[in-house]
Amino acid sequence: MVLFGLGINAQTCSKYYPFTEGAVSQLTMYNKKGKMQGMVEYSVEEVGSNGNGETAKMSHKLIDEKGNLISTSSYDVLCSNGIVSMDFRSLSRPEMMKQFGEDAEVSVTGTNIDFPNDLSVGQELPDGGINVKINFSGMNMNMKTSIVDRKVVGKESVTTPAGTFECYVITSTTVMKMGTNMRNDTKQWIAEGVGVVKVEDYNKSGKVRGMSLLTSFTK
């Protein structure tokens, strides 16, 4: 699972993500056998500033293996005091929300996902997550996604179709609660000036069940 995508941030503020209007990153998703499953595309639509720092309006596109657009969404990224803060709404699943229709009452709360500039091996990063409450035809639903146990566990060189990158490796656990609990362990590689270049998802046995690779990056 590509969590909260590539929030792209200001070069004057962020070390790991370029903050350039028009920048586009594409991650191709593969199953455990290496078969392509689709693509996620992140674009910087608008760059600006507010009283707290520099901002970017991000767009997110989910595309299937045949090139068909599944869903689109947008979210904000703030860079302030050397910390990149990605809007918790980047964790939402618009394709799921559409099934409830326009008549559903939706309340969304959460905690942003933060990435500091001063990453170091052994560092623990703060938790984040999103909580979605839906009232649909008198039925109440509560969907909660938490990103926990975020740790910087190493530095590695990674080669993808977009190039070779020196990366910090960050592990985390995603816990989803919607009637039953679902748990997903993730390892993420991020590179200076680029952002996320590789993601691996693991099953309960610790085996890779899916992977995403940066296949295109322009800025």
- How far is residue 7's CA from residue 84's CA, in Å, rounded to a whole number? 8
Using CA atoms, how far residue 72 sits from 2, 44, 59, 157, 187, in Å, is 15, 14, 7, 31, 25
CA atoms within 13 A on the CB side of 44: 28
Backbone angles phi, psi at 3, to 5 degrees: -75, 135
What average pLDDT does the segment 205-218 reach? 94
Identify which has the larger pLDDT, 121 or 5.
121
Residue range 133-189, pLDDT digits in tens:
888 777 788 889 999 999 999 999 999 999 999 999 999 999 988 878 888 999 999
- How far is residue 217's CA from residue 145's CA, in Å, rounded to a whole number? 28
pLDDT for the residue numbered 134: 83
Residue range 65-120, pLDDT digits in tens:
999 998 888 888 999 988 999 988 888 765 555 555 567 788 889 999 999 999 99
Q: Note the pTM of the prediction, 2 decimals.
A: 0.85
Domains defined for the chain, CATH in brackets: 24-218 (2.40.360.20)
- How far is residue 82's CA from residue 62's CA, in Å, rounded to a whole number? 29
